[in-house]
Structure 1
Amino acid sequence: MSLSRKQWPGYWYGEARSPIGMRMLAALYAALTGLRRRAFARGWKRARHPGIPVIVVGNISVGGTGKTPLTIALVERLRTEGWNPGVASRGYGRDNPRVPLWVERDSAPEHVGDEPALIASRTGVKLRVDRRRADAALALKEAGCDIIVCDDGLQHYALARDVEIEVIDGRRRYGNAELLPAGPLREPVERAQQCHFRVVNLGGVPAPGHVGAGFGEWPMRLHGDLALPLTSGRARPLASFSGQRVHAVAGIGDPERFFSMLRGLGIAVVPHAFDDHHRYEAADFEFGSRLPVLMTEKDAVKCGALANDDFYSVPVRAELPEAFWVALLSRVQRG
């Protein structure tokens, strides 16, 4: 389920109690999703395994948490360890979700989804979008991959998996910890405890007073140090914008995460937040003032035709403790 940020009720991430009507609907939602989980757990519904290790990256809450940067980091680390990874994704928001597609470096985001387009352009990994992730995994195996990373597949139980990684937004966490529509959760908090790894996205610069990841959680920071022009020209150090006003554009699950990273570098941000997976038009950039435009890499893959020389993409890389990688690789090898 994907909701516009404008549609998120204030009580999801505030202190107000959710309305009783929403809690009644949440109870029905809990019963239906719980029945589905039990159906797969007890074998009433069949999960398929491709016969090679499967790592699933996902979250139990609505909205972005940092799954895509982690997926990219997984692909890169697995390659350095001698694996030939493939990525299976649904390709949210693409024009024809019923048609499975291979994603290339230059695939159009509207055809394959913005996140798969970003992953492919950054890594060149074999990537298959299919609403049936198990079918995508089998296609990747046939294409020569020896390990599968499933992007945003925690609730896709039809694909059997060896490792589950939950990604948590370090700022919003689980909100009021209630299920949809009373809260932002797709599954109960207890479901997260079943994941092999729980990664907390602390962003680029921690908020004041942030205590970081808790016990049993792995901290992840998103580090960006370059601004890449969308048209022509050379890359600039992101810090070179320090002390300047810029238009900052973010159409991700939590735009404030991007804005905070820029502010932490001393950049004067004029924020422009859009809904996750937003499809941009020229009118979206009629800001009324000519300033540099810094945007997330996920947004930039959709804006090449709309950009001028003032537009820059800010790629980030996920940084995690080495102990996380040791533990993950050990579990994959045991599987």
Structure 2
Amino acid sequence: MRLAERIQKAWHDQAKWLIVLRPLSWLYRAVFLWQKNSKSKNAYRAPVAVMIIGNITVGGSGKTPLIIALVEYLQSKNIKVGVISRGYGGKGGGGKGVDGKGEFPLLVTLDSTPEQVGDEPTLIVQRTHVPMAVGPNRQHAIELLLQHHHVDLILSDDGLQHFALARDLEWVVVDANRGFGNEKLLPEGYLREPLSRLDDVTVIEHSAHPKTDLHMHLEPSTPYNLVDHSQPFNASLHYDAVVGIGFPLRFFKTLDDLNISYQKHAFADHHAYQASDFSTIHSQAIITTEKDAVKLKQLWHNDPEMLARVWVVPVQAVLSENVYQLFNDQLLGLNPNFKINLSHRPNS
């Protein structure tokens, strides 16, 4: 087991030995507060409204499905929305970018690959066709996006701790099943920010059994074949479950709920798959997430036989009525011209 995996397991188990990392957590807190105070003073403010969708923990919380749901909602109301992201895991597309490094920022298109722009941006654009730009410098990403697209609102995929970017709205997704562990900052715990940060943001509870009015859950549907979507899913087979997300236990729980028999193969979040990763996988059926599927599609783009073995579990973020109502109210506060468009929810 790799060090990163051991630490994540320790976080999940709330291992007592993590206390030895407390001095590093104190250092992290000091550096974090210094960066927050220094960067916030000269934060870049975009010419359009910016909404952050993030979390205060390391690992997945469900924010990407939430972003997809919000983008689709706004599109259904004819509101011009764009998305930016750091593009974690992407290496850029070459050429000279405005950051001077020759790689970022980069517009995400339907032809973009996870290797270029990251797995989550690839998935978001493939699902929604939304205008999107990626790059570690959010200001440059926004400037590039606005050079090519007219948008009324920008959603930032993550970036809650990117204090160099001013924001108008902040939503934080909290996975109720995962919780906050030992409630300690990195690296003793998996908090990026103190829990008090939740007092200043809109908290969306991710839970199938919520305790709050503002909540969401992920609803899976029948798995589809990566090559032939019309091929019926065979639930009686034994699958190799391949996953590289921040919280793989959520995916395995989904498979359990779907009564699917499987063997676990968990990799680190944003894992760049190689053929060697599958040297011990000999079954004829692989099942994975949509986020992982975009990378497997790239890995085996010249091997249709391997692609035909891959089955994908689609999920959709289902939001409570209170979330939509709050979203409407917040957007009306930003721009009263949204009022006609946001008077009703789209039909599900």
TM-score bracket, shorter-length normalisation: 0.7 to 0.9
Q: Name the CA distance, whole Å, in 1 between partners of 2:49 and 2:123.
A: 23
Tell me the distance in 2 between the aligned counterparts of 1:277 and 1:288: 20
Distance in structure 2 (CA, Å) of the matches to 1:103 and 1:157: 24
SS in 2 for 1:185: coil
Check conservation: 1:201, 1:221, Cα contact below 8 A. yes
Output aligned runs, 1:153-168, within 5 Å: 153-168=159-174
Which amino acid is the alignment partner of residue 261 of structure 1?
T
For residues 210-267 of structure 1, the C-alpha deviation after alignment (integer angstroms, 9 at most, x for no partner) is: xx3344x63221112132322235154xxx4434322211110111111111111211
The one-letter amino acid paired with 1:213 is P
Cα pair 1:105 1:124 within 8 Å, conserved = yes
Matched residue type, 1:126? P
Aligned to 2:307: 308
| 1:174 CA displacement | 1.2
Q: Residue in 1 aligned with 2:338?
A: none
Give distance in 1, aligned partners of 2:18 and 2:214: 34
Instruction: Indicate the residue corresponding to 2:112 in structure 1.
Output: 107
The one-letter amino acid paired with 2:210 is A
Partner of 2:344: none
Rounded Cα–Cα distance in structure 1 between residues aligned with 2:266 and 2:328: 37
Distance (Å, rounded) in 2 between the aligned partners of 1:5 and 1:250: 16
Task: Determine the C-alpha separation between the residues in 2 that align with 1:274 and 1:19.
Answer: 22
* Aligned equivalent of 2:265: 272
Aligned in 2, Cα 1:279/1:56: closer, same or farther, shift over 3 Å? same
Matched residue count:
317
Would the aligned equivalents of 1:226 and 1:235 in 2 still touch at CA under 8 Å?
no
SS at match of 2:107: strand
Cα distance in 1 for residues equivalent to 2:234 and 2:255? 9
Structure 1 vs Structure 2: percent identity of aligned residues? Answer: 38
Contact 1:52 1:141 in 2 (8 A): no
Give how far 1:189 is off: 0.9
> Residue 193 of structure 1 aligns to which amino acid in structure 2?
D
Q: Specify whether residues 116 and 15 from structure 1 end up closer, same or farther in structure 2 by C-alpha distance, changes over 3 A only.
A: closer
186, 193, 197: which is aligned to 1:191? 197
Which of 146, 149, 168 is the equivalent residue of 2:152? Answer: 146
SS where residue 142 of structure 2 aligns? helix
The Cα of 1:169 is off from its aligned counterpart by: 2.2
Are residue 294 (structure 1) and residue 287 (structure 2) matched?
Answer: yes
Judge which range, 149-158 or 9-18, deviates more. 9-18
Give yes or no for contact 1:11–1:176 (8 Å, CA) kept in 2: no
| More helix by percentage | 2
Tell me how far apart the structure 2 counterparts of residues 270 and 23 of structure 1 sit (CA, whole Å): 36
SS where residue 199 of structure 1 aligns? strand
The unaligned stretches of length 5 or more in structure 2 are 93-100, 301-305, 335-348
What is the TM-score when the length of structure 2 is the normalising length? 0.85
Q: What is the rounded CA distance, in whole Å, between the counterparts of 1:288 and 1:14 in structure 2?
A: 28
TM-score normalised according to structure 1 size: 0.88
Q: Cα gap change, 1:233/1:33 in structure 2, threshold over 3 Å: closer, same or farther? A: closer
1:37 equivalent in structure 2 = 36
Which one-letter code corresponds to 2:206 in the other structure? N
Q: Distance in 2 between matches of 1:267 and 1:105?
A: 31
1:329 maps to 2:335? no
Does the CA contact (< 8 Å) of 1:54 and 1:163 recur in 2? yes
Q: Where does 1:4-23 land on structure 2 (aligned, <5 Å)?
A: 5-8=4-7, 10-23=9-22
| Corresponding position of 1:209 | none
**Cα-Cα RMSD:** 2.1
Question: Counterparts of 1:1-335 in structure 2 under 5 Å?
Answer: 5-8=4-7, 10-41=9-40, 43=41, 46-96=42-92, 98-142=103-147, 143-195=149-201, 197-202=202-207, 212-215=209-212, 218-232=214-228, 234-236=230-232, 240-304=233-297, 305-306=299-300, 307-335=306-334
Deviation for aligned residue 1:19:
4.4
Cα-to-partner distance string for 1:120-144 (whole Å, 9 max, x where unaligned): 1111110101211122223333421
Query: 2:82 corresponds to which letter in structure 1?
Result: G
Q: In 2 relative to 1, CA 331–7 (structure 1 residues): closer, same or farther, beyond 3 Å?
A: same
Native 8 Å contact 2:240 2:281 kept in 1: no
Letter of the 2:43 partner, please give it.
Answer: A
Q: Deviation per CA, 1:13-60: give whole Å up to 9, x if none.
A: 22433544411111121111112222345x2xx112212221101111
**Does the 8 A contact of 1:106 with 1:121 survive in 2?**
no
- Per the alignment, in what secondary structure is the counterpart of residue 295 of structure 2? coil
SS in 2 for 1:166: strand
Q: Indicate the SS of the match to 1:30.
A: helix
Amino acid paired to 1:72: I
**Counterparts of 2:83 and 2:143, CA distance in 1:** 11
2:13 aligns to what SS in structure 1?
A: coil
SS at match of 2:200: coil
**8 Å contact 2:49–2:154 — kept in the other structure?**
yes
**Contact 2:63/2:173 (8 A) holds in 1:** yes
